[in-house]
Amino acid sequence: MYTCLMHPLYILLGLLLLHTPSSGAANDTLTAGQALVVGGKLVSRNGKFALGFFQPASTISKSHNDSWYLGIWFNKIPVFTTVWVANREEPITNPLTQLKISGDGNLVIVNHAGTQSVVWSTQIVNRRQTNINTTSVVLLNSGNLALTASPSSNILLWQSFDYPTDVLLPGAKFGRNKVTGLNSLAISIKSLIDLGLGSYSIELDTSGVILKRRNPSIVYWHWSSSRTSSLKLIPILKSIIDSDPRIKGLIDPSYVNNNKEEYYMYTSPDESSIFVSLDISGQIKPNIWSQAKQSWESIYAQPADPCTPAATCGPFTVCNGNAQPPCDCMESFSHKSLQDWELSDRTGGCIRNTPLHCTSNENITSSTDIFHPIARVTLPYNMQSIDVATTQSKCEEACLTSCSCTAYSYNNSRCSVWHGELLSVNLNDGIDNTSEDVLYLGLAAEDLPSIRKNKRKPNVGAIAAASIIGFGLLMLMLMILLWKNKFKWCGLPVYDNQGSGGIIAFRCSDLVRATKNFSEKLGAGGFGAVYKGVLSDCDSTTIAVKTLDGARQGEKQFRADVSSIGLIQHINLVKLIGFCCEGDKRLLVYEHMLNGSLDGHLFRSKSVLNWNTRYQITLGVARGLSYLHQSCHECIIHCDIKPENILLDASFVPKVADFGMAAFEGRDFSRLLTTFRGTAGYLAPEWLSGVAITPKIDVYGFGMVLMEIISGKRNASETFTSSSCDAEYFPVEAISKLHEGDVRSLVDPQLNGDFDVEQVERVCKVACWCIQVNESDRPTMGEVVWVLEGLQEIDMPRMPRLLAAMTAQSDESSV
């Protein structure tokens, strides 16, 4: 986003260049013989877009440069926002410039300072079939600048939509012309005030949609270009759009592939202000104007993790997708240019505070420099392996003997070293990065005291501030203790305790009152019953209280486990509000889900969940489980994935319930095997055989749930037992139909054929992948999320051995 600075003298100088009264362009059209100068502009007939000369300025630092650009921007939006720039590679350094139609019929920018030189041109070569004198250019309501044979002609000679900068507007084709070879490549801008070519590009070529860093050339996101794969991208985009109320109905994506062209495009209502951009950091983002906030809102990002684009933070930086901003310098490094960072240009990265004391003398020992470990990060690009370094000390020594070696890593008996700049060191943020590698960064020995000081010696001012705050909190606690039995705020009891992360320690009497003596039962599970209640707080919060049967933990252990689970926050996990631990009573208090559990909607409800809702439920549950397995401080295994433990909020957003019960049980898996067996129909084979459990048991249960979401019926009939194969067993039928290419017959008949066949096939493949007998053959939940999002292709899964044996036995009995 940019603000425009315009000096009145520049406008006056531009007007002095006009040699005829017709030089001032009016309305939306510029014809032969007219010129557009600094201070003038073309405005589309709907008033939405404007074309003119401008100077960009940062809204952050108010910095600006002397460069002038010709561009198109939103005319009615108070935040100056460009959507197309003509001369981004050749900015103009003075305002003595005109836009006009040249003698050869091209649209050109001419610099009148000194000799009249052409700064930019549309570069149309073949103009024989048109009359140059009638050529005109018009700014259309769509924001497209079109050069036509005449003001009333439909003969299009050139258009700005074919040459995007970093923005794609509704109605613009993003793709390639197979006849002319034209490819609408989009390239990010360099900074908020430098609109030149930035670090990232996106294009559609013969191999598919490609997002890459330009220098060094690294592809970091790729979507296959096969016809079936490209078509699959559209329903994925539509499902994302339909799930967000801010953009639902505002974006309608489409895909075209014929013998002349291949392209993606989206349309939007004329009254909405929306655009898709490739931003400076390498992410694709749809942006919509919020009238209430008077600002642009980025409503989605691909890739989701801001650290995924290659080298997005520059050299010698660490990227953390959960931080804002995500980029920071490595230990003992500082910004190479603080001003560039303020303008979002981080290509310069960071530089050392103290140079390395390096010499060509091979006898120099490790006392010359030190190595600082950076834990749980992705390793940088351009690593070199050293086979002779068989231990970590030898690996470190190999790096010390080279003046250009900046870091090393030693993992699984493999030594890797890096020379020169370190790019794409990304912290494990649990979004798209779960790396556990350690990078050892070479630093000057003088930096060691400062590192220790930063870690061990707090600032005196910070100590004083902390003391004041601590004293204030102590006084507040004393006041609460004095007033505890005399006052209630909004009718909310003052509870005995509050754990870390805001988890409330309830009194049992409060929960008895909130649930009306546990009178309204919502359901029951393997650990106990669940009751509905209402807290007497300001908002009369509706809660679900779960009673734990047979809980044997001590109070200290129970509180510790609850506190750890209370820190887990994810949109697809039910929020734990609090707990109660008095005597032998163990109660958990959760947020209440208005639409109950998934099993009620699949197997008992008269209203039918449509396919889009079912697909969003599968994706949401997968994301929740992936978070539990891969993004928490400790891996949490759910141990009982089934429709009864998948709850739906008012918008049918799925939330996994009862997660972390293994953690509540002290994480003693060997004991869990003898006290908890999950639910019949969702148990992984290895659990029944008595081996140690892993997160793959949740993957198996999730696969069985997918079967039920597809079919709308239990994966096994009530008469099915492990010793009888006579009863119908849906997983056997599902994988058989999948291999036969007949997934339509598997879908819940209540949908009446209203479903996406490709999505059904994808879900069915994932389900069969998840229920493989050997746990090593099953995917991780992270891989499941990628497949369901359409970001990873999936092969045809093989028939699980157990199901194959059941099928063979069934065939033999029928002979």
At residue 719, the pLDDT reads 39
Q: Is the pLDDT of residue 457 over 70?
A: no
- pLDDT for res 664: 42
What is the percent of the chain where pLDDT is above 70? 75
Q: What is the pLDDT of residues 502-531, one digit of tens each?
A: 678 888 888 999 999 988 888 776 667 889
Note the pLDDT of residue 538.
57
CA-only gyration radius of the chain, Å: 32
In this predicted model, what pLDDT tens digit does every residue of 786-807 receive, in sequence order? 898 887 788 888 777 666 555 5
248 within a domain of the structure (yes/no): yes
Q: Are residues 11 and 151 in the same domain?
A: yes
Q: What is the DSSP letter of 94?
A: S
Are 343 and 406 in a shared domain? yes
Quote the CA–CA distance of 513 and 197 in Å, as a whole number.
65
* Residue 139, beta-bridge partner list: 145
Closest by CA position to 645, among listed 661, 659, 635, 631: 659
Domain co-membership, 634 together with 739: yes
Q: What's the pLDDT tens digit per position in 551-569?
A: 555 565 566 567 666 767 7
Active site residue 340: no
Q: How high is the pLDDT of residue 794?
A: 84
Binding site membership: which residues?
Answer: 546
List all residues 6 or more positions away from 595 whose beta carbon is below 8 Å from its beta carbon.
601, 647, 648, 649, 650, 652
Q: How confident is the model at residue 670 (pLDDT cuts 50, 70, 90)?
A: very low
Average confidence (pLDDT) over 108-117: 77
Q: Is the dihedral of CA 266, 267, 268, 274 positive or negative?
A: positive
Taken in order 634, 564, 694, 646, the sign of the CA dihedral is negative
Among 392-406, 538-552, 612-626, 705-719, top mean pLDDT goes to 612-626
Residue 487 pLDDT? 36
Please check whether residues 382 and 244 belong to one and the same domain.
Answer: no
Q: Which residues are annotated as a binding site for ATP?
A: 546
Total length of the chain: 815
CB within 8 Å of 170: residues ≥ 6 apart: 142, 251, 266, 267, 268, 274, 275
Confidence of residue 635 (pLDDT cuts 50, 70, 90): confident
Give the closest residue to 590 by CA, choosing from 573, 581, 578.
578
What's the mean pLDDT in 708-726?
62
Q: Quick check: 108 pLDDT over 50?
A: yes
| DSSP tag of 197 | E
Q: Which two tokens stand for residue 471?
A: 């004293």
Q: Does 648 lie in the same domain as 732? A: yes
**Rounded mean pLDDT of 61-70?**
69
Longest dimension (CA), the chain: 98
Rounded to whole angstroms, the Cα distance separating 319 from 439 reads 14
pLDDT at 179 exceeding the cut of 50: yes
Q: What proportion of the chain, given as a percentage, has pLDDT over 90?
A: 35
Residues 271 and 324 in one domain: no
Q: What per-residue confidence (pLDDT) applies to 9?
A: 37
pTM attached to this predicted model: 0.57
Selecting among 279, 640, 658, 748, the annotated active-site residue is 640
pLDDT band at 203 (very low <50, low <70, confident <90, very high): very high
**Predicted local distance difference test score (pLDDT) of residue 662:** 53
* Nearest residue to 97 (alpha-carbon basis) of 112, 86, 107: 112
Least confident of 155-159, 206-210, 661-665: 661-665
Q: What is the mean pLDDT of the chain?
A: 79
Same domain, 580 and 631: no
Quick one: average pLDDT of 305-331?
92
Judge whether 195 and 85 are in contact, CB under 8 Å: yes
Work out the number of other CB atoms within 10 angstroms of the CB of residue 97.
26
**In 65-201, alpha helices (H):** none
Amino acid at 86: A
Residue 413 is predicted with a pLDDT of 84
Element (DSSP H or E) covering residue 241: helix 227-242
Assess whether pLDDT exceeds 50 at residue 424. yes
Separation between Cα atoms, residue 465 and residue 540, nearest integer Å = 37
Per-residue pLDDT at 694: 84
Residue 321 falls inside a structural domain: yes
CATH at residue 529: 3.30.200.20
Residues 608 and 689 in one domain: yes
Q: Could you give the CA distance from residue 654 to residue 542 in angstroms, rounded to a whole number? A: 18
* pLDDT band, residue 675 (cuts 50/70/90): very low
190 φ/ψ angles, rounded to the nearest 5 degrees: -80, -45
Whether the predicted pLDDT of 64 surpasses 70: no
Alpha carbon 239 to chain centroid distance?
A: 15
Are both 225 and 157 inside the same structural domain?
Answer: no
Q: Say whether pLDDT at 727 is over 60.
A: no
Domain boundary among 163, 180, 213: 163
**DSSP letter for each residue of 40-81:** -EEE-TTSSEEEEEE--B-TTT--B-S-BEEEEEESS-SS--
What pLDDT does 10 receive?
A: 36
> Is residue 490 in a domain?
no
pLDDT the model gives residue 366: 41
Residue among 619, 774, 767, 763 nearest 684 (CA): 774
Is the pLDDT at 28 greater than 50, yes or no? yes
**Domain around 607:** 598-814
Q: 795 lies in a domain?
A: yes
Q: What is the mean pLDDT of residues 450-477?
A: 59
**Mean pLDDT of all residues in 202-209:** 88
- The separation between the first and the last C-alpha atoms of the chain, rounded to the nearest angstrom, is 73
Distance in angstroms (rounded) separating the CA atoms of residues 733 and 40: 70
Which residue among 591, 613, 637 closes a domain?
591
748 plus 794 within the same structural domain: yes
Whether residue 629 contacts residue 780, with contact meaning beta carbons closer than 8 Å, is answered with yes
How buried is residue 322: exposed, middle or buried, by Cβ count under 10 Å (0-12/13-18/19+)?
A: middle
Q: Is the pLDDT of residue 360 over 70?
A: no
> What total of structural domains would you count in the chain?
5
145, 159 in Cβ contact below 8 A?
yes
Question: Residue 200 — pLDDT band, cuts 50, 70, 90?
Answer: very high
pLDDT value at 213 more than 80: yes
Three-state SS for 769-780 is HHCCCCHHHCCC
Q: Which of 381, 411, 445 is where one domain is finished?
A: 445
148 and 176 both lie in a single domain: no
| Residue appearing with tokens 């600006």 | 64
Q: Decide: helix, strand or coil at residue 2.
A: coil
Residue 579 has pLDDT above 50, yes or no: yes
Average of per-residue pLDDT across 533-543: 78
> Hey, what amino acid is at 35?
A
Over 60: is that where the pLDDT of 228 sits? no
In one-letter notation, the amino acid at residue 200 is: Y
Element (H, E) at 200: strand 197-205
| Residue 76 in domain | yes
Q: What is the pLDDT of residue 489?
A: 35
